[in-house]
């Protein structure tokens, strides 16, 4: 009978016995090691999970994570360590940044039932990462055609006035077999094969078509568009963008270009060239996913950004995580200190809405307000929001009167 395999990387014999006992009771085949040589021998590509102690005598957990990433491991990672909680948190972040799959973490000492719960998660078939990998392999590097490319729009709300003020354009691939696919399934392939500029122009063109239609219907919205650093590296991009705006009679002042924060740590001079020209031409620049990269205040201040978007992970963890709350609060303060508009993304609950409102974020977006909408549905959504807006204003402190359908994108 086939048994799924797990690997325990730990040097504590007593605790290793406990972990091995829990794992075998769940039907796992278990291997144990505590140094690099034994790790190399015990490792196998079909591992379901790897349990890693951060503190080892001959190799530390960071080196283990790095080595597993080099092997392209698809196993789920579980950190089990007596190290400081901040180190464990850093280790879990490192696992994700290395492209590995994180199941969870436990601080020693722990009760066996908690490990049991994590190992049960490892046993779940068809994890998201496995499904994503399989779909990407099936796509064979192909990217969407113009007919297959869909642009949806997620509303953004002004936290002071509660007005529907802007949208973010979100690219999707309506694949004939796989269905509607998120950008993670096709943007990396487009960046790798050099077709990202063509794809970006398609996204911009479809976005501007809707902008033009909205303006004719009397709806003037600011629109955010995500731009790859690869595209910004092409110094002709600003001229191409301006030509498209002129074609659809859209002003640069209506367009916000979002660039992920991680790009700031190592931007080529061509990107800085493009960003400066785009700012001169009237576009506003936004730092996307702020808090996940390694930018410094000097980097933020020397590039002409006008907006800072706080990563959804901090927004969603902040109500129940003191450290995430502090990062969220300090990010808002930093943005305002640098005279940037601050946008909270990923707001999914009333509690998160109230928190970003209290911290004085300027705008927010997320499922609590609306899911991404087709362009043709956006003007009609405005009417629904105006009705909800009245309800919200009737409640002190912008308390949101919710029902089963209060997430207005339903």
Give yes or no for residue 410 having a pLDDT over 50: no
- Would you say residue 409 lies in a domain? no
Whether the Cβ atoms of residue 92 and residue 66 lie closer than 8 Å to each other? no
The CA distance from 353 to 40, in Å, is 48
Q: What is the DSSP letter of 35?
A: S
Give yes or no for residue 247 having a pLDDT over 70: yes
- Of the candidate ranges 2-11, 228-237, 265-274, the one whose mean pLDDT is the lowest: 265-274
Planar angle of CA 352, 354, 360, nearest 5 degrees: 105
My answer on whether 383 and 357 are in the same domain is: yes
Tokens of 36: 């690099």
The confidence score (pLDDT) of residue 128 equals 46
My answer on whether 273 and 340 are in the same domain is: yes
The confidence score (pLDDT) of residue 135 equals 59
Whether the Cβ atoms of residue 234 and residue 241 lie closer than 8 Å to each other? no
Query: 255-260 and 284-290: which strand pairing?
Result: parallel
My answer on whether 361 and 250 are in the same domain is: yes
My answer on whether 113 and 197 are in the same domain is: no
- pLDDT, greater one: 41 or 210: 210
Burial class (CB in 10 A: 0-12, 13-18, 19+), 366: buried
* Entry pTM: 0.69
Tokens of 327: 């990062």
The confidence score (pLDDT) of residue 297 equals 62
My answer on whether 238 and 175 are in the same domain is: yes
Give yes or no for residue 291 having a pLDDT over 90: no
Beta bridge partners of 32: 8
Q: How confident is the model at residue 138 (pLDDT cuts 50, 70, 90)?
A: low
- Would you say residue 93 lies in a domain? yes
Going from the C-alpha of 239 to that of each of 230, 235, 247, 277, 371, the distances in angstroms are 16, 8, 12, 9, 32
- Would you say residue 31 lies in a domain? yes
Residue that terminates a domain, selected from 125, 159, 178: 125
For the domain that residue 308 is a member of, what is the CATH number? 3.20.20.450
Q: How confident is the model at residue 373 (pLDDT cuts 50, 70, 90)?
A: very high
- Would you say residue 94 lies in a domain? yes
My answer on whether 98 and 118 are in the same domain is: yes
- Per residue in 36-52, pLDDT (tens digit) is 888 998 998 889 899 99
The CA distance from 276 to 273, in Å, is 5
Residue (of 255, 213, 253, 223) closest to 379 by Cα position: 213
Q: How confident is the model at residue 198 (pLDDT cuts 50, 70, 90)?
A: very high
Radius of gyration of the chain (CA): 24
- The whole-chain average pLDDT of the chain stands at 85
My answer on whether 240 and 386 are in the same domain is: yes
My answer on whether 158 and 45 are in the same domain is: no
Whether the Cβ atoms of residue 51 and residue 10 lie closer than 8 Å to each other? yes
Per the structure, the complete domain to which residue 101 belongs is given by 5-125
Average pLDDT of the residues in 55-70: 89
- Of the candidate ranges 160-174, 245-259, 344-358, 396-410, the one whose mean pLDDT is the lowest: 396-410
- Would you say residue 406 lies in a domain? no
The confidence score (pLDDT) of residue 406 equals 42
The confidence score (pLDDT) of residue 407 equals 44
My answer on whether 104 and 183 are in the same domain is: no
The confidence score (pLDDT) of residue 359 equals 95
My answer on whether 59 and 142 are in the same domain is: no
The confidence score (pLDDT) of residue 372 equals 94
My answer on whether 175 and 320 are in the same domain is: yes
Burial class (CB in 10 A: 0-12, 13-18, 19+), 140: exposed
Q: Give me the number of domains the chain comprises.
A: 2
- Would you say residue 62 lies in a domain? yes
The confidence score (pLDDT) of residue 137 equals 55
Count CA atoms closer than 13 A to 180's CA, side-chain side. 8
My answer on whether 209 and 191 are in the same domain is: yes
The confidence score (pLDDT) of residue 200 equals 95
Q: How many residues does the chain have?
A: 410
Residues with Cβ within 8 Å of 95's Cβ and at least 6 positions away in sequence, in order, are: 65, 77, 79, 101, 102
């Amino acid at each position: 009978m086939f048994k799924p395999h797990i690997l325990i990387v730990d040097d504590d014999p007593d605790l290793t016995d406990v972990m091995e006992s829990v794992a075998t009771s769940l039907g796992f085949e278990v291997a144990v090691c505590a140094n690099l040589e034994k790790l190399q021998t015990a490792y196998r590509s079909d591992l379901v999970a790897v349990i890693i102690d951060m503190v080892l005598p001959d190799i530390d957990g960071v080196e283990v994570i790095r080595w597993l990433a080099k092997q392209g491991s698809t196993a789920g990672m579980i950190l089990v360590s007596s190290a400081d909680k901040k180190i464990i948190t850093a280790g879990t972040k490192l696992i994700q940044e290395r492209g590995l799959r994180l199941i969870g973490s436990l601080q020693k000492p722990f009760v066996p039932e908690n490990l049991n719960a994590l190992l049960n998660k490892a046993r779940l078939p068809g994890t998201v990462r496995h499904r994503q990998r399989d779909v990407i392999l099936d796509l064979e590097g192909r990217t969407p055609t113009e007919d297959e490319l869909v642009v949806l729009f997620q509303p953004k709300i002004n936290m002071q006035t509660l007005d529907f003020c802007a949208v973010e354009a979100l690219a999707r691939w309506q694949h004939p077999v796989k269905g509607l696919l998120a950008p993670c399934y096709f943007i990396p392939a487009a960046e790798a094969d050099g077709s990202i500029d063509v794809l970006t122009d398609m996204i911009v063109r479809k976005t501007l078509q809707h902008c033009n239609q909205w303006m004719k219907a009397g709806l003037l919205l600011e629109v955010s568009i995500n731009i790859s650093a690869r595209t910004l590296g092409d110094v002709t991009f600003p001229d191409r963008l301006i030509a498209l705006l002129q074609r659809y009679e859209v002003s640069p002042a209506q367009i916000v270009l979002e660039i992920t924060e991680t790009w700031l740590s190592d931007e080529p001079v061509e990107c800085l060239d493009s960003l400066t020209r785009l700012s001169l031409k009237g576009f506003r620049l936004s730092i996307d996913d702020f808090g996940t990269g390694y930018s410094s205040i000097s980097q933020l201040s020397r590039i002409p950004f006008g907006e800072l978007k706080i990563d959804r992970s901090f927004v969603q963890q902040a109500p129940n995580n003191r450290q995430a709350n502090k990062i969220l609060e300090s990010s808002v303060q930093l943005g305002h200190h640098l005279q940037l508009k601050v946008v909270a993304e990923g707001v999914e609950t009333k509690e998160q809405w109230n928190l970003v409102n209290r911290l004085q974020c300027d705008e927010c977006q997320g499922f609590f307000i609306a899911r991404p909408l087709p362009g043709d549905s956006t003007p009609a959504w405005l009417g629904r929001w105006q009705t909800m807006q009245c309800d919200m204003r009737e409640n002190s402190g912008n308390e949101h009167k919710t029902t089963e359908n209060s997430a207005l994108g339903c």
